[in-house]
Amino acid sequence: MAKKPVKLDDVAREAGVSKTTVSRVLNQRGYLSEETIAKVQRAMEKLNYRPNAIARQLYKRETKLVGLIFPTIDDPFFGQLEAALENELYRRGYKVLMGNSQNNPAKERSFLRQLLNRQVDGLIVGAHNQAIGEYQRTNLPIVSIEQIVSRNVPVVASDNYNGGRLATQRLLDDGCQHIIHTNYPEDIPTPNHERRLAYEDLLRQHGQTPITYHISFDDPVEKKRAIIRQIFEDHPEVDGIFADNDTNAGLIMNIAGEFKRLIPEDLRVVGYDGANATRILLPQLTTIQQPINQMAETAVAMLQARINGEQVASKMLPVKIIDGGTA
């Protein structure tokens, strides 16, 4: 005959305490003497009792699951960010459910509903779709990274304005007279636009006219290439480009060769992000490095605080310039 599973009643009987006391030991609720805790633990060990994890989660109203929604892992910045988030969440005892939305609102809405149905404890998001109503209506703890999804959702961001200032100042210090910038379309609400504002402010202070070409993160690579080629066709005088991310900076460096432009001899380039994979593949790229791992740790700590019912404000983290040789 199969051995009957040990129940809470059995542990209580063995320890000589009430069932409620055993439950309080399991869930670490209320004051209990060390003697009582030890007595219950000895009884559980003797009977080989294994608490029902699902029952404990229901009792505590938590699942130890956190959902992540980001555009893609097919990008050095987001790939490193999601890996760092998963590692930090695991360290805190959480499992991860991940959805990559490709910045498709319908796909993101579908992921969001699935995650809400799975009763996750919270969400960390970095997609670009602000107009999704579920973000406005849910009481679920949410933290965003580098994107604005709702007025009620705190954001972890790097100091984008200072990053834009550092990048533009480097090109000015190199003597560039015709500096062009690439950035997200202006209708996408993102802290990245602070990079553009810093570029515009600094150029105007130096008597230069700012010119920004808008490249969407979601554009196919060939469309991005076409926009970058247009930069060189429209502005053969360009001698410096501040790219809003390292992927675009890499495309700029490749396409510059088609126009017989030499880097850094007659064209200087500064990127943005400084992810580990980019530093391996493009070690020569001068870039503004975001503290990606620190951003992940901060976002998880903020989410944990929100899960605990605490008020959380948005946070900004410092950036630094990494010298490569392209500027």
The pLDDT of residue 289 is 97
Q: Quick one: tokens of 23?
A: 């439950």
Strand ranges (E), the chain: 65-70, 95-100, 122-125, 142-145, 155-158, 179-183, 211-214, 240-242, 268-273, 286-289, 315-317, 320-322
> DSSP assignment, residue 2?
P
What CATH number corresponds to the domain at position 54? 1.10.260.40
**Element housing 293 (H / E):** helix 292-307
Q: What percent of the chain has pLDDT above 90?
A: 55
Q: What is the mean pLDDT of the chain?
A: 86
pLDDT at 128: 58
Domain-embedded: residue 35: yes
Judgement on whether residues 183 and 142 belong to the same structural domain of the protein: no
pLDDT of 58 over the 70 cut:
no
Higher pLDDT: 122 or 24? It is 122
d(CA 83, CA 142): 18
Residue 271 — φ and ψ, nearest 5°? Answer: -100, -165
Distance in angstroms (rounded) separating the CA atoms of residues 299 and 255: 36
Predicted confidence (pLDDT) at residue 215 exceeds the cutoff of 60: yes
Q: Which domain holds residue 114?
A: 65-158+293-317
- The reply to whether 241 and 172 lie within a common domain is yes
| Amino acid present at 125 | V
Among 40-49, 50-59, 315-324, whose mean pLDDT is lowest? Answer: 50-59
**How far is the C-alpha of 182 from the C-alpha of 235, rounded, in Å?**
14
The whole-number pLDDT of residue 301 equals 96
The model's pTM is: 0.77
- Residue 272 pairs in a beta bridge with 288
Question: For residue 53, is it within any domain?
Answer: yes
Backbone angles phi, psi at 231, to 5 degrees: -55, -50
Does residue 326 lie within any of the structural domains?
no
- Identify which has the larger pLDDT, 44 or 234: 234
> Is residue 2 in some structural domain?
no
Domains of the chain: total:
3
Q: At which of 60, 84, 101 does a domain end? A: 60
pLDDT over 70, % of the chain: 83
Chain segment 23-40, per-residue pLDDT in tens:
777 765 556 787 888 898
Q: What is the CATH number of the domain that holds 266?
A: 3.40.50.2300
What pLDDT does residue 196 have?
Answer: 96
Residue-wise DSSP of 73-99: SSSHHHHHHHHHHHHHHHHTT-EEEEE
Question: Are residues 264 and 199 both part of a single domain?
Answer: yes
Among 245-259, 260-274, 297-311, the range scoring the smallest mean pLDDT is 297-311
| Lowest-confidence pick of 105-114, 121-130, 221-230 | 105-114
Q: Is 83 part of any domain? A: yes
Distance (Å, whole) CA 200 – CA 209? 8
Does residue 144 sit in the same domain as residue 179?
Answer: no
| pLDDT of 112 over the 90 cut | no
Residue 41 placed within a domain: yes
> 196: number of CA atoms within 13 Å, CB side?
16
Residues 94, 167, single domain; the answer is no
pLDDT digits (tens, 9 = 90+) for 244-254: 999 999 999 99
Do 80 and 43 belong to one domain? no
Task: Tell me the C-alpha distance between 138 and 306, whole Å.
Answer: 13
Q: Are residues 207 and 254 in the same domain?
A: yes
3-state secondary structure of 109: helix
User: Are 246 and 286 in the same domain?
Assistant: yes
Task: Say if strands 240-242 and 179-183 run parallel, antiparallel, or are unpaired.
Answer: parallel
Q: Does residue 28 or residue 54 have the better pLDDT?
A: 28
CA 58 to chain CA mean position, Å: 29
Task: Please state whether 48 falls in left (phi above 0), alpha (psi between -120 and 50) or beta.
Answer: left
At residue 207 the predicted structure's pLDDT band, cuts being 50, 70 and 90, is: very high
Examine the pLDDT at 269 and tell me if it is beyond 80. yes
- Please check whether residues 107 and 196 belong to one and the same domain: no
Q: Decide if 3 is inside a domain.
A: no
Tally of CA atoms within 13 A in the half-sphere of 103 that contains its CB: 14
Does residue 107 carry a pLDDT above 70? no
Q: Which letter does DSSP use for residue 242 in this model?
A: E
Instruction: Inform me whether the pLDDT recorded for 6 exceeds 70.
Output: yes
Query: Both 43 and 71 in a single domain?
Result: no
Under the banding of pLDDT at 50, 70 and 90, the label for residue 133 is low
pLDDT level of residue 72 (50, 70, 90 thresholds): confident
- For residues 195 and 244, the answer to whether their CB atoms sit within 8 Å is yes
Question: Which residue's structure tokens are 């990559």?
Answer: 100
Stretch 92-104: mean pLDDT: 76
What phi and psi values does residue 32 have, to the nearest 5 degrees? Answer: -140, 145
* C-beta separation of 85 from 292 below 8 A: no
Closest by Cα among 315, 322, 316 to 289: 322
More confident of the two residues 69 and 241? 241
* Structural tokens at position 305: 């605080």
Residues 74 and 193 in one domain: no
Q: Where are the beta strands (DSSP E) in 149-229?
A: 155-158, 179-183, 211-214
What is the number of other CB atoms lying within 10 angstroms of the CB of residue 177? 13
Give the confidence band of 1 by pLDDT, cuts at 50, 70, 90: very low
> At residue 4, does pLDDT exceed 90?
no
Q: Is residue 187 over pLDDT 80?
A: no
139 and 164 belong to one structural domain: no
Confidence of residue 316 (pLDDT cuts 50, 70, 90): very high
